[in-house]
Amino acid sequence: MKYVPRLLLFLAIPAVLFLLPWWTLVAAPTAESGPLFWLGSALFLLGFVGLPASMFLGHGPAQSDAASIVGDTLLGVTWVLFSWSVLGNLARAGLTVAGVADPARSRIVAVGVLAATTVLVVWGVVEARRVPRVRTLEVSIPGLGPALDGLRMVVVTDTHYAALDRLRWSERVVEVVNAQRPDIACHAGDLADGSVAKRHAQVDPLGKVEAELGRFYITGNHEYFGDAQGWIDHMTSLGWQPLHNRHEIVRRGDDRLVIAGIDDPTGIALPGHGPDLPAALAGADPDAPVVLLAHQPKQIAEAAAAGVALQISGHTHGGQIWPFHYLVRLDQPVVAGLSRHGERTQLYTSRGTGFWGPQLRVFAPSEITVLVLRSEPASA
């Protein structure tokens, strides 16, 4: 009986996602009668049953890659369809005021919602599967020594290597990263979904990333849904330095920079894991500025209290599929971009390099980020 509330929630979410589009595209335009009504209703019923079933088979104990692809794709398409059904029904009110009567009004709305959904899904797939654009940003770091001025940190995050084989995409991402001439390379978590045995081939090209002063990796929440320690060990074998609540000192000349990393908060479920910022900074030079890798933006509160100069995070995907960013904002202080917290701490939140689940990105493009650290304020 203890699982009944979870089961009801698991079914309630697809019910909400499917009900409004069903009414918008099927019930209203057909006046709930005729063969199109029954055929459309059957398709929506199939989707309502298929979504939770495929998500459970794909992401539950069975870990079926085929079911995962079906469920994730259906989830993304349904979300776009639901969102634009909401907008379509707002437009319906305008048509009513304009004097457009049914059935023409409902049919205009249905055609508009279906057309918008089709265009955005096609565009969203292209955006998700493309090699991300490079975003370059200068960030002023108080106390950064002149020898480190202009240091280039290239950030990838949320690659989410999963059921879809993206080996070639991974290789091209590495080519783009190396083309940015990074001094430091960072992966800010959510490396892959699944075990090392199933996903390592897609991850292995990261071993070819070239960065003179170091390659650093932290765990995201998705590592803790699978084999976090296995991924830490595997990234170590590829030449990356996992910052498992620890720091490294980067030196150039007489100047130093602390690169620290902490675990994702979900790590507390695994013995020996979970974020521990005091441990990460223990023994660090108090005169050297700190750049902290922390997967979730909401970890910024503790970072600001500790006087961290810059926190680099991912996790949000920029919302990934509009308008999901409004829901992300309920949980995180920032969805994307550079922001300031407290007197001396900045946070850069990446929209992510890959995608989770639905192979869609709508109004939330992926990115490979180049953060150019400056010892003086960046010019306007």
pLDDT digits (tens, 9 = 90+) for 54-112: 999 999 889 999 999 999 999 999 999 999 999 999 999 999 999 999 999 999 999 99
Judged by DSSP in three states, 256 sits in strand
Instruction: Write down all domains in the chain, each with its CATH number in brackets.
Output: 3-129 (no CATH), 133-375 (3.60.21.10)
Look up residue 357 and give its amino acid. G
- Return the number of other C-beta atoms located less than 10 Å from residue 257's C-beta: 28
Of 254, 261, 151, the closest CA to residue 212 belongs to 151
Looking at residue 13, its pLDDT comes to: 85
Environment class of residue 66 by beta-carbon count within 10 Å: exposed (0-12), middle (13-18) or buried (19+)? exposed
Looking at residue 4, its pLDDT comes to: 67
- Return the number of other C-beta atoms located less than 10 Å from residue 42's C-beta: 11
Below-70 pLDDT ranges, the chain: 1-4, 7, 377-380
CB 303 within 8 A of CB 345: yes
Distance CA 349, CA 341 (A): 13
Q: C-alpha distances in angstroms, 197 versus 60, 162, 230?
A: 18, 12, 9
Looking at residue 2, its pLDDT comes to: 66
Looking at residue 380, its pLDDT comes to: 43
Q: Which residues of 165-198 are buried (b: 16+ CB within 10 A; e: fewer)?
A: ebeebbeebbebbeebebbbbbbbbbbbbbebeb
